[in-house]
Amino acid sequence: MLAAIRNYYKKGRFQRFEIIVGTLFLLAMIPTLRNITEENDVNIFYLAASCLREGRSMYEGPQMYGMWYYYSPLFASLLVPFTYMPLQVIKLVILALNLLMLRRSYVLAKRLLQLEHSSAAVGVLLAFAIACVYPVYMNLLYGQMTIFIIWSCFEGIVQAKKTQYAKGAAALAAGINVKILPLFLFWYLLLKKEFKFMVYVGIAVAVSILLPYIFIAYPFHSTLITQWLGLLNPLNHEHVNTVGEGGFIDFGSIVTKYFTHYSVRNESQLNITHLEHNAVLAIQMAFRGAILILTAWFVRNLKRTADNQGSVLFAELSFFLLCIISAFPHQRDYSVFMAAPAVLLILQLYFSNRTKAGHLLPLVTLVNLLIMGFVLFPKFLGKAARHFIFETRMPGIAAILFIVIFMAWLQRYQLFRSKEK
């Protein structure tokens, strides 16, 4: 049946199939509209903007249930006009923004992978849409900005490849102001020797940080910048020993759970030993150093040909986003959506030549994605089982394993350079 559908749509009719799948996908997202009345991170944004409007610092204390505002003064400034409106307005705006960025990210991915020109495109799109229902649902429901970050990274680098440096730098600077995660791409640009674009991004970030001086008093905004950078300091205790409300999936949270004396409310103690702050920090920095080495090796060893430049670029960005899940602190279940580009590339490889994939690798990949919480599986479990999975940090362990699995797929399809004899 899939072959018949593929044959029907492959000759200029793929867009019809995209419309059908996109419409069904949007219908599946309708339940996320309940975030308008439920509390999520948008409430924190709104409260932070309200503080700024009243001339108070949004960084001096938690905004809601002990959760802090970690984003830039510029981001809060842009939200101040919404504080004159009901909270539901900003929630709808951010929901719409996420959906627009989701569509734009898909368009960029489709172009890089030349998806619509592939005979396997129908199967890839259908499988990818089904796989992404749960992580997209979680991001929209919780008012998260993960989709925006993915867009920022892809838009920034794609525009730079077209020598549209100002547009690319603006996109990356926007992502950095929302969350600092796109800063990791400075390492990518350094590896690619994109020094000119690095200067553009640096200028764009500096402008975005200084811009609020236009409408915020000089001493007050200087204080806000100092407080913001202080909160982002990676040496802070809360960034090293990630406890919070639990449920984190980054590498640091795994170390905290199993190798320190810290307890998480409503979670069991699983500590093997009691490492101190400096030892935990050293382990985390060693892991991040290993990630830097691994990403450098990855970029250097991808096989490049005249006709696969888009696919190589897509693979590189997918790998960097995949590593962010584990390398940066305070990543939660919704953060697994950063693995979506890697999942899309795996699906394209699989549907282009299923026999090459074999049977074991697809099975291992599916099981790992289930444990990560990338697909609907967690919702099918009972509350006790879900609690056990997250308190043992199994999704975080699976996220690290998925880095290896992604590389295994590229190796299976011979996308790495062979060793020179």
pLDDT in tens, 360-407: 999 999 999 999 989 877 667 778 888 888 888 999 999 999 999 999
Please classify residue 46 by burial: count the beta carbons closer than 10 Å to its beta carbon, then call 0-12 exposed, 13-18 middle and 19+ buried: buried
Count: domains in the chain: 2
Tokens of 186: 């400075």
**Contact yes or no for 71/180 (Cβ under 8 A):** no
Same domain as 181, residue 119 = yes
pLDDT at residue 12, as a whole number:
55
Q: How far is CA 8 from CA 3, 19, 314, 333, 391, in A?
A: 9, 15, 28, 38, 47
pLDDT at residue 421, as a whole number:
43
**Which of 231, 264, 282 delimits the end of a domain?**
231
Domain that holds residue 394: 233-421
Same domain as 280, residue 217 = no
What are 411-416's contacts with CB under 8 Å, separation 24+? 412/349, 412/356, 412/357, 412/358, 412/361, 413/349, 413/353, 413/356, 414/303, 415/302, 415/303, 415/315, 416/301, 416/302, 416/303
Same domain as 239, residue 157 = no
Same domain as 385, residue 265 = yes
Same domain as 237, residue 157 = no
The Cα angle at residue 338 between residues 334 and 341, in degrees rounded to 5: 140
Same domain as 242, residue 175 = no
pLDDT at residue 386, as a whole number:
82
Same domain as 114, residue 85 = yes
- CB atoms closer than 10 angstroms to residue 264: 20
pLDDT at residue 307, as a whole number:
78
Tokens of 136: 């997209």
Torsion of CA 17, 23, 24, 25, to 10 degrees: 100
Same domain as 213, residue 265 = no
Same domain as 268, residue 184 = no
- pLDDT tens across 82-114, in order? 999 999 999 999 999 999 999 999 999 999 999
* Of 140, 50, 164, 167, the residue nearest 334 (C-alpha): 140
pLDDT at residue 189, as a whole number:
96
pLDDT at residue 10, as a whole number:
54
- In eight-state DSSP terms, residue 180 is S
Same domain as 394, residue 267 = yes
- pLDDT tens across 107-139, in order? 999 999 998 877 788 999 999 999 999 999 999
**Which of 231, 261, 294 delimits the end of a domain?**
231
**Which of 206, 231, 256 delimits the end of a domain?**
231
Same domain as 290, residue 227 = no
- Interacting residues of 129 by C-beta distance below 8 A, sequence separation 6+: 21, 24, 25
- CB atoms closer than 10 angstroms to residue 340: 25
Residues of the chain with pLDDT under 70: 1-12, 244-247, 378-379, 419-421
Same domain as 47, residue 12 = yes
